[in-house]
Amino acid sequence: MVLDPYFEPAVGGDKAFTVEAPKIKFGTGSLSEIGDDAKALGMTRVALYTDPVVAKLAPLATARKSLEAAGIDVVVYDETEVEPTDRSFKAGTAFARDGNFDGFVSVGGGSVMDTAKASNLYSTYPDDFLAYVNAPVGAAKPVPGPLKPHIACPTTFGTASECTGIAIFDLLEMEAKTGIANARLRPNLGILDPSALATLPRSIVAANGFDVFSHAVESLTARPFSQRPAPENSNLRPLGQGANPYSDMACLESIRLIGAHLIDAVNETDNSAHHEALMFAGMLAGIGFGNAGCHLPHGMSYAVAGLVRGYNPPGWPSNHPMVPHGISVIVNAPAVFRFTGPACPERHLKAAEAMGADISGVALSDAGGALADRVIDMMRQTDMPNGLQGVGYTEDDLENLTDKAFPQKRLLDNSPQVPDRDQLKELFRASLSYW
């Protein structure tokens, strides 16, 4: 008996899945408890990471006040770059190195949480910058030992960086997005206070919402864990182990919440009624992809973000052109669902239904199409760019995009239908525009 026919055992396939559970506190007002949490982790002098925008907002003041009330020294670093680069990771590291801190707190979006993780790592175990970076770009050296305690407090809801041991950045000299991935980078505690979303601009709400949706749907439709080749020993089982019964639960509920709340949260002037649902959806998707792993939309997104030329998105203050993460993911997603639909049609149909599509009368053979249509409809209702052309790419870029995305083997192999190079190029072509 298997829990779902999708996980039917396969010859040579993995027989087990693991469950990684981040430590999370969730609730409106929970940020004001951070002083006690930091003390319990032994912090006496904290590096408080944020960015120039969040530095002026209520969540930063709340965290600072609570830390200081607990008798903790706090020094604020507010120079984090949005969509960080190696340059900004190095600047954050210099701040950590010079400050003699015994704890890290991050208050901000994925950019801030990731910068705090990297600064903690490089200031605690200094090494060549590329030493810890994922192969093949870097040497993927394991983190040598425990890091200083880190409490991550998101003020966005898309990345789930508070749940993961991942720090993403743009390596400027290679025009490539890459990252550092190691379980030791996972924050000791994530504090999710939905009231922190009160000031989030609507375009960022939309991009975050689609990032959450894509984490959830990619994890739900990922290759089943039972078909990934079994590891040589149990310590080598990857974090992205493929779809499994645990991540399924979290992902379907996450998709349902995004389907029910995202359009209104983007379009209503006062969207506070949706903050709790959005933040919970982001957390659930983080638990989902932290255990299952993403696949093609994320694999393709690193090329879309890395090769950006002149795109400056409305709503994002930035000192360099960029395609924000959620946008770089969702512009590929509809084309991907049409391609992966036939590999696990029931799962695509379930996702379409959870997202709010009317699936009565939809044949299984059109499950990927039904999901793609619902996503396109939601992109239009939330003013997302119209595919790759909407963020500045043309036919002439397809070869370059394919070259950059094809080496993302870990993500491509986690797809229920693994594309060859020509198919990947056709996926980029199909992503050029949707309406």
Ligand X SMILES: NC(=O)c1ccc[n+]([C@@H]2O[C@H](COP(=O)([O-])OP(=O)(O)OC[C@H]3O[C@@H](n4cnc5c(N)ncnc54)[C@H](O)[C@@H]3O)[C@@H](O)[C@H]2O)c1
Is there binding between residue 218 and Fe ion (CB under 5 A)? no
Residue environment code for 343-356, b if the CB has 16+ CB neighbours within 10 A, otherwise e: ebbebbbbbbbbbb
Cis peptide before 136 (omega within 30 of 0): yes
Radius of gyration, alpha carbons of the chain = 21
Phi and psi at 352, nearest 5°, equal: -60, -45
Cβ neighbourhood burial of 99 (10 Å; 0-12, 13-18, 19+): middle
Compare residues 305 and 349 and give the one whose CB is closer to Fe ion: 305
Binding interface with ligand X (CB under 6 A): 51, 53-54, 57, 82-84, 108-112, 114, 155-156, 158-159, 161, 164, 166-168, 196-197, 199-200, 204, 208, 316-317, 325
**Residue 25 phi, psi dihedral angles, 5° rounding:** -120, 130
Nearest to 412 by CA among 291, 240, 247: 240
Nearer to ligand X by C-beta: 108 or 242? 108
Query: Is residue 14 involved in binding Fe ion (CB under 5 A)?
Result: no
Q: Is 83 in the site for Fe ion (CB under 5 A)?
A: no
Closer CB to ligand X, 82 or 250, in the complex: 82
Give which of Fe ion, ligand X, none residue 82 binds (C-beta under 5 to 8 Å, depending on kind). ligand X
Q: How far is the CB of 329 from Fe ion (least distance, A)?
A: 6
Q: Which is nearer to Fe ion, 51 or 211 (CB)?
A: 211
Find which of Fe ion, ligand X, none residue 243 binds, CB within 5 to 8 Å per kind: none
Rule CB under 5 A: choose which of 51, 162, 170, 211 binds Fe ion. 211
In whole angstroms, the minimum distance from the beta carbon of 184 to ligand X comes to 14
Q: Would you list the DSSP string of 181-228?
A: E-GGGS-SEEEE-GGGGTT--HHHHHHHHHHHHHHHHHHHTSPBGGGS
Distance from C-alpha of 113 to C-alpha of 162, rounded to nearest angstrom? 7
Q: Which residue has the tokens 């979006």?
A: 109
Selection from Fe ion, ligand X, none that 110 binds (CB < 5 to 8 A by kind) is ligand X
In the complex, the smallest distance separating the C-beta of residue 46 from Fe ion, rounded to whole angstroms, is 28
How many residues sit in the footprint of Fe ion (CB under 5 A)? 1
Q: Which is nearer to ligand X, 133 or 349 (CB)?
A: 133
Using CB under 5 A as the criterion, which residues of the chain lie in contact with Fe ion when the complex forms?
211
